Structure 1
Amino acid sequence: MLHLKRRGFDLGCIQIPEKTAMPSSSQVQQAWQNDAAIVLPQLLRNDLEKYTENIKESHILMQNVLRTCDFVPFLEQTPYVERIQQNFFIVAASPEEHDEQGIEKVYFDAFDQDEDDVVAEELWCKASWLSFHDEDASLRFRFSWGMEGYEDVSADPLKQAWAGKLCDVLFPESHIITNNATILSHLSSILSKKPSFVERIVYFNAPNGGAQFHHDVERGHAGVVFAQLSGSTFWLALAKPKLMDEIISFVTNAKNQQAIASVLPQENDQQTLKTLCHNREDLSCHMEDPDHELVEALIDRCPEFIAHLVARGHSHILQAGDVLLLPQRDLDNCVWHSVFTLGDTPGEALSFAVR
C-alpha cells in the first residue's frame, strides 16, 4: 500500500499499481494516438550511471537554492561558470518579487564561439517554488526566452533551441532525454520528423509535494516527455474525456455523496457540481477555468476519488530510470496528470515539451 500526502492534504492509502513491461514501438504509437499516457520502464537505467556526478551536482544546487533563496551566486561558481562561459554570459538577474512562487530569474545571451557574435538574446532560467505550502520544498528550474507568459514556442525556434542548450549547460543530465535513441525513435515515428525538446523544466519534487491535476497544452507542442532521474513519484494520468467520464461516474453515484461533502461542505457547491456533471460542455469549460474549485476539490483533495481513479487503472509509479510520455494533442483531448512525491527525500526529474 502507498500513503499519499501532498501540500498538507492526507489523501489516504492506495494499492500499488502493477509494474509494466517495456512497450513495443507500435504500442507506444497507439497509446500516443489514443491520447494515453505510457511508461517506458527503466529505459534510462544505463544512462543514469553516466550522469551520476551531474545528478549529484544538481542536488547540491537545489539544496543551496533552498538554503539561501538565491540562484545566480551559484552559477558564478565551479562547475557552472566554466560551462556557461563557453557559449553564454549572464546579462542580469531578477529577484521575481512580483511572483510569490518565484525565487530568481537569470537572463542570458548566447554567442557563437567562432564568430564571437551574439546569436540569441533574452534567454532565461527561472528558479521557483512549486507551491505556496510551507511544508513543500519542491523546486523547479524552467528554461525559456522573452517575456514570461507571452513567449510563443512557435515564434522563434532559434531562441527555443538556445534555451534548450542552456538547459544542457546547467543540467548536463538533460542529454538523458535528448540523446536517447529509443525516445528519439518513438517520437520521430509519432511526429514523422525529428522532435525538438522545448520549454524544458528540471523538477525537484520534495516530500509532501507534487503537482495538482493539470494539462500542458501549448500552441506548437505535441506532448511532454517526463524522465525520473532520482527518487520516485506516483502519477494519475488520463485524457480529459476519460477524466470527465470518471468525474461524472463518481459524482452521480449516490454512494459517494459523503465523500464529496467532505471536500465540498456547502450544499450549493455540491449541487452545482452535480449540475455540471449533467452537461459535458459545461463541465469541460469549468475545468479550463483558472478557478475550477468545484472540480479541483474533487480531483485533488478527495481520497475516495483518487482511489477510484487508481482502481480504474489510471495510475503509474515512476522510479529512477523510468520515462513517461504524455500526449497533449489539444484542450479537448490532452492528458491531464497529477503527481505525488514518494519517499523521504527530493528527487530530480526532467519535463521537456516536444515540438
Structure 2
Amino acid sequence: MTSDQSDADSIPALLDEILGDAGRTPLPGAAPVVALSEEDDPASVAAIEALALARIELRRRGVDHGTWVTLPSELEPAGRLPRPSQLRKRWREARPFVLRGALAEELPLARNELHAGLRRGQKVSSPQDLEAELRRSLGGRAARFEVIGAADELYDPERDLARVLVRDTQGGFDDLWVKTGRLSTYPEDTSLRLRFAFGAEREDDASDDEPRHRATAALGRAAIPELRLVGPGSALIERASEAADESLQATGAIAYWNAPEGGALFHHDAFSGDDSQGQRGVLYTQLVGRTAWLAISSADLVRRLEEFLADEEEPELADLATLAADQGAARAELALPGCGRFGPVVDGWPAFTAFLADSGHAAVLEPGDAIVLPNQGLGSTALHSVFCASPRTTYGLSVALRRDSRPHNRVRGQKMSGRTLRSGPGRRFDLRS
C-alpha cells in the first residue's frame, strides 16, 4: 500500500467529501484549507481537527466568517505547485498561486530586521513620527533620498494618518512620497499600511513612468531593508518572472501590519482594461505572523458566484443570480470599487467565505510564504480578500510587479542568500507572532 493510499484510507468521510469534490480546484502551492461548520457532525469535525496543522477563527471588522483548518499537503496532491508551463498558463488566466516556504531559509538570517519591521508600525502613525522615522532610515546629507517634509493635505482624511514627501537627488525627482494609513475605520481594527509611491495619488497610480517606478522601489529598499528579499535579483522576483514569461521588477511597495479584526475586503489591483504594459500583478510575502486569504481569478469568482447564488432561495438575490449568469456583466461588476453589487455577498456572507474555501480558493500564509496575484486587466485579474489569522499584529510586504524593460541577463534559479540583510545575535522573537 502506498503512502497516498494509506492517507486516503484514514481521511474522515466529511473531509473526503470536500477534498474529493469534482468541482474543487485547489490553489496551487497552498496547504489544503477546509471550512468547519456548526452544522457538521461533531465526530467528523473532531476527526478533521486531529489531522489539522492549524485551526483559524476568521473575524474581520465585527463579522465572524467561521473556522478554517489547514491540512497536510499529502491529503491533496492536486494542490502541489505545477510545472513552469502550467504556471505560465495560470498567469495568462490571472489565476493566483502560492510559493510556500519561499523565504524559509532567508528569514532566520534576518530576525533583527523583521523584529524592527514589526515595530516600525508603531513608529509611523503620525506626520511627525513618520518624518522622523524616514530621516533616521534614509540617512544624512550624503544620502540619495532627502526628506522634504509632511504633506499638508491627506487624500483620504478618514483613513490616512500621514504622508511625507521625499526627493530623489540621484534621479532628480521631487514627487516621491510615503504614506501611512489605516486599513479601515472599524474602531477595533488597528491594522496599518505604509505605502511608497510618486506623483498625484490615484491619477499617477497607473503611471508607466518607469524611471520613477524604479526610484520608488529604491526608496522603499532604503527605508525598509527587508524589501531586498523581493528586490532585484531575488529568487521571488525570478520565480514570478518565469511564470509571467517576461522580466519583472518590484515597485510600489506596501508594508502591512494586519491586526486582529483587520485585513482587506475583496479587491483587485487592475487599472485598465488591458494591463499588459502596466502593472502585471502583485507579490505578497508573509514575514511575521499568519494571514488567511481568499484568492481567485475574476473568471472563477463569477463562476463561483453563479453556483452559490443558484442555490439561494431568497428573492432579493434573484437579480444577483441573473447578473452572475452573464459572464461579461458580472466581471464588469466585480471590477467596480467594493465589487459593486456583489460586495455584500463576497465580503459580508460567512457562508460564501466557507463556500470559496471548500471550493479550493483559500490559503493560509505562514512566515516565509508568498502569494502571486497575476493581472491582465479589469476583466481578467486576481481578486483577493485577507484576514488576520494571528492573535497579535502580523507583518508582511506587498510589491507591484511591472515589466522591466531594461536589457539585462536573467539567471534562472538564482536564490537570495540572505546575507545582504544584517543579522546577528540581537533579540530573538517568534516569527509566527
Query: 333-342 or 185-194, which moves further after superposition?
Result: 185-194
Q: CA deviation at 1:223?
A: 0.9
Mapped to 1, the partners of 2:308 and 2:92 lie a distance apart of 27
Tell me the TM-score normalised to structure 2 length.
Answer: 0.72
Q: Which moved more, 1:31-40 or 1:98-107?
A: 31-40
Q: Unmatched 5+ residue regions in structure 2?
A: 1-54, 74-78, 403-433
> What amino acid does structure 2 have at the position aligned with 1:4?
L
Match of 1:12 among 40, 61, 66: 66
Measure how far apart 1:289 and its partner are.
2.8
Letter in 1 for 2:203: Y
Task: Tell me the CA shift for residue 158 of structure 1.
Answer: 0.9
Q: Say yes or no: does 1:188 pair with 2:247.
A: no
1:180 is displaced (CA, Å) by: 5.5
CA contact (8 A) 2:283 2:371 kept: yes
Which residue in the other structure is 2:365 paired with? 318
What residue in structure 1 maps to residue 165 of structure 2? 107
Q: Which residue of 1 aligns with 2:144?
A: 87
Residues 91 and 244, structure 2, Cα contact 8 Å, conserved in 1: no
Per-residue deviation, 1:98: 4.9
C-alpha displacement of 1:51: 2.4
The answer for the alignment partner of 1:337 in structure 2 is: 384
Question: Could you tell me which amino acid in structure 2 is paired with residue 86 of structure 1?
Answer: A
Identify if the C-alpha distance between structure 1 residues 192 and 16 changes in structure 2 by more than 3 Å, giving closer, same or farther. Answer: closer
Distance 1:65 1:90 in 2: 14
Q: Secondary structure at the match of 2:70?
A: coil
Deviation at 1:278, TM superposition (A): 3.8
Q: 2:132 aligns with which of 73, 76, 86?
A: 73
Counterpart Cα distance in 2 of 1:109 and 1:63: 24
Tell me how far apart the structure 2 counterparts of residues 175 and 23 of structure 1 sit (CA, whole Å).
27
**Partner-residue secondary structure (3-state), 2:91:** helix
| Alignment equivalent of 2:305, drawn from 220, 223, 247 | 247
Alignment correspondent of 1:115: none
Question: What is the correspondence of 1:1-355 to structure 2 with a 5 Å cutoff?
Answer: 1-16=55-70, 18-19=72-73, 21=80, 24-66=83-125, 70-77=129-136, 80-82=137-139, 86-94=143-151, 96-99=153-156, 100-112=158-170, 119-179=172-232, 181-218=234-271, 219=275, 220-253=278-311, 256-257=312-313, 269-290=316-337, 292=339, 294-355=341-402
Contact 1:145 1:151 in 2 (8 A): yes
1:211–1:338: 8 Å Cα contact kept in structure 2?
A: yes
Q: Which has the higher mean CA deviation after the structures are superposed, 128-137 or 7-16?
A: 7-16
Further displaced range: 227-236 or 48-57:
48-57
The change in CA–CA distance for 1:245 and 1:35 in structure 2 (over 3 A counts) is same
Deviation at 1:272, TM superposition (A): 2.8
Contact 2:258 2:395 in 1 (8 A): yes
What is the CA–CA distance in structure 1 between the aligned matches of 2:205 and 2:175, rounded to whole Å?
Answer: 13
- Deviation readout 1:271-324 (Å, 9 max, x if unpaired): 332332343333233222336553111111111111111111111110000011
In 2, the alpha carbon distance for the partners of 1:69 and 1:21 equals: 47
Q: Counterparts of 1:84 and 1:60 in 2: how far apart (Å)?
A: 26
8 Å Cα contact 2:165/2:178 also seen in 1: yes
Contact 1:83/1:169 (<8 A) preserved: no
> What SS does structure 1 have at the residue aligned with 2:123?
helix
Instruction: Decide whether the 8 Å contact of 2:303 with 2:324 is kept in 1.
Output: no
- Residue 204 of structure 1 contacts residue 346 of structure 1 at CA under 8 Å; is this kept in 2? yes
CA deviations over 1:4-40 (Å, ceiling 9, x no partner): 1011111112343554655543443333233221111
Q: Cα–Cα, structure 1 residues 284 and 184, in superposed 2: closer, same or farther, change >3 Å?
A: closer
Change (3 A) 1:303 1:328: same
Contact 1:29 1:186 in 2 (8 A): no
In the TM superposition, what whole-angstrom CA distance separates every residue of 1:168-202 from its partner, at most 9, and x where no partner exists? 01111001111464323323334444311122211
Greater CA deviation, 131-140 or 276-285?
276-285
The verdict on how the C-alpha distance between 1:67 and 1:121 changes in structure 2, with shifts beyond 3 A counting, is closer
Q: CA 1:240–1:98 in structure 2 vs 1: closer, same or farther (change >3 Å)?
A: closer
Structure 1 unmatched runs, 5+: 113-117, 262-266
Paired residue type of 1:91: I
What RMSD in Å do the two structures reach over aligned CA positions?
2.4
Q: Per the alignment, do residues 41 and 278 of structure 1 end up closer, same or farther by CA in structure 2, a change over 3 Å counting?
A: closer
Using the TM superposition, give the Cα deviation of residue 81 of structure 1 relative to its aligned residue in structure 2, in angstroms: 4.5
Q: 1:337 to 1:321 in 2, by over 3 A?
A: same
Instruction: Give yes or no for contact 1:66–1:137 (8 Å, CA) kept in 2.
Output: no
- Identical columns (%): 28
Query: For 1:329, what is the secondary structure of its paired residue?
Result: strand
Instruction: Classify 1:250/1:69 alpha carbon distance in 2 versus 1 (closer, same or farther; 3 Å).
Output: farther
